[in-house]
Every structure is written in structure tokens, then in C-alpha cells.
């Protein structure tokens, strides 16, 4: 319990710090990264939170998947999407991360069997003028900034994000990022 509370506090603080950094015109430093390594590292970091709820996390990532992004921003994107999925997935649920890349684009999906997002909130989750925090399925707390930060970092890296959600069935976030430096 103490370990999970510490992880939650760390994630909250990390989001607040990242949000502050994103408010400034921080310079992004994109390089070509291997997706699998960062995703594996993030899943490992969040594994105790998932284990506490008996949530299974599966990854389906081709070893060849690469993206041309700022690595710190990419880590924040993945960490926020996975921790959000854990937060809103009930006990014994499932989270799947998959990645498909070609020469131009890298598409990453984070899907869960969680509670879903109400249809009237989907448009608001990325809106900087609307900050709301919803407790997770085990009363986990959040800042209400995580998904806004994800959107901001995806945009800064020349990507796009889409959401597909069904209340009571789960949510899928689909991120598309450049696979290589544009000329």
C-alpha cells in the first residue's frame, strides 16, 4: 500500500512538473528512438500499480518500431496514458499497448477494459481551459493534467491523438508520430 501511494504521489508530482515545463516554450530535442525499450521501461515502472489491481498489461510492439521524437516527452506520453489506463480500469482488467510503424509514421495504441469516458467529456479531456480530475476505480487521485500534457507533447512532436471510448467497455488512445526526421 505504501509503495503504491508513493508511486501515485510520484506520478502526480511528475505531471505537475511536466505541466510547468510545457507552459514554457521548452525546446524539444527529437531523435530517433526505439519504441519497445521505452514502453518496456514504462510498463516496468508502473507494474506495481497494475499488480495491486490485478491488471494485466500486454505489449505488442515490433522490434523495428521507431519514432522521431523528444525521448523525455515520449516517456511522459506513454507513462501518462498507461497510468491513466490503470487508474480507470477495474480490478482484473486488461491494458494493451501496440505499435505499428512504416517509413513515415509510427502508430501507438493504448487500450483498456476500463470504465470508459462519458461522450460529453471526450472533447474536454484535452481542453486546457477545463481542468477536472476524476477518481479512479480504486479512488486513485489525479491532477486533471495528464491527458492535456499528452496532447501538448504529441502536438509538439508533430503527431496527432485520437480517442475512442465506450462507457463501461473501455478506451483506446491512438497516437500517430513521425517515424523519421522530416526534410
Tell me the pLDDT tens digit for each residue of 154-181: 999 999 999 999 999 999 999 999 999 9
Estimate the share of the chain in helix, then strand, then coil, as percent rounded to the nearest 5: 40, 25, 35
Please state the domain count of the chain. 1
Residue 183 counted as domain residue: no
Domain enclosing residue 122, as ranges: 2-178
pLDDT at 85 over 60: yes
Q: What is the rounded distance in angstroms from the CA atom of residue 47 to the CA atom of residue 62?
A: 21
The answer to whether residue 28 is domain-embedded is yes
Q: Which CATH number goes with the domain that contains 77?
A: 3.30.565.10
Residue 182: per-residue pLDDT: 81
Residue 58 lies in a domain: yes
> How far is the C-alpha of 137 from the C-alpha of 114, rounded, in Å?
9
Stated length of the chain: 183
Contact 179, 105 (CB under 8 A): yes
For residues 10 and 92, the model is more confident at 92
Q: End-to-end alpha-carbon separation of the chain, Å?
A: 50
Helices within the chain (DSSP H only): 2-23, 35-52, 71-87, 119-122, 146-156
pLDDT at 13 over 80: no
Q: Do the domain assignments include residue 19? A: yes
Residue 8 has pLDDT above 70, yes or no: no
Assess if residue 162 is contained within a domain: yes
pLDDT in tens, 39-79: 999 999 999 999 999 999 999 998 889 999 999 999 999 99
C-alpha separations of 179 from 85, 107, 157 in Å:
25, 9, 11
Q: Residue 99 falls within a domain, yes or no?
A: yes
pTM of the model: 0.86
Amino acid at each position: 500500500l505504501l509503495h503504491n501511494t508513493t508511486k501515485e504521489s510520484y506520478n502526480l508530482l511528475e505531471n505537475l512538473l511536466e505541466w510547468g515545463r510545457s507552459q514554457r516554450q521548452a525546446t524539444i530535442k527529437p531523435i530517433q528512438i526505439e519504441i519497445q525499450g521505452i514502453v518496456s521501461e514504462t510498463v516496468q515502472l508502473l507494474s506495481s500499480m497494475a499488480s495491486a489491481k490485478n491488471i494485466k498489461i500486454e505489449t505488442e510492439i515490433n522490434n523495428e518500431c521507431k519514432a522521431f521524437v523528444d525521448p523525455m516527452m515520449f516517456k511522459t506520453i506513454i507513462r501518462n496514458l498507461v497510468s491513466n489506463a490503470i487508474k480507470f480500469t477495474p480490478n482484473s482488467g486488461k491494458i494493451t499497448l501496440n505499435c505499428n510503424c512504416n517509413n513515415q509514421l509510427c502508430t501507438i495504441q493504448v487500450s483498456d477494459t476500463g470504465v470508459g469516458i462519458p461522450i460529453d467529456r471526450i472533447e474536454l479531456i484535452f481542453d486546457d481551459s477545463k481542468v477536472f480530475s476524476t477518481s479512479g476505480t480504486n479512488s486513485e487521485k489525479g491532477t486533471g493534467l495528464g491527458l492535456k500534457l499528452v496532447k501538448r507533447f504529441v502536438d509538439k512532436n508533430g503527431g496527432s491523438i485520437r480517442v475512442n471510448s465506450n462507457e463501461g467497455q473501455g478506451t483506446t488512445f491512438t497516437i500517430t508520430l513521425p517515424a523519421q526526421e522530416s526534410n
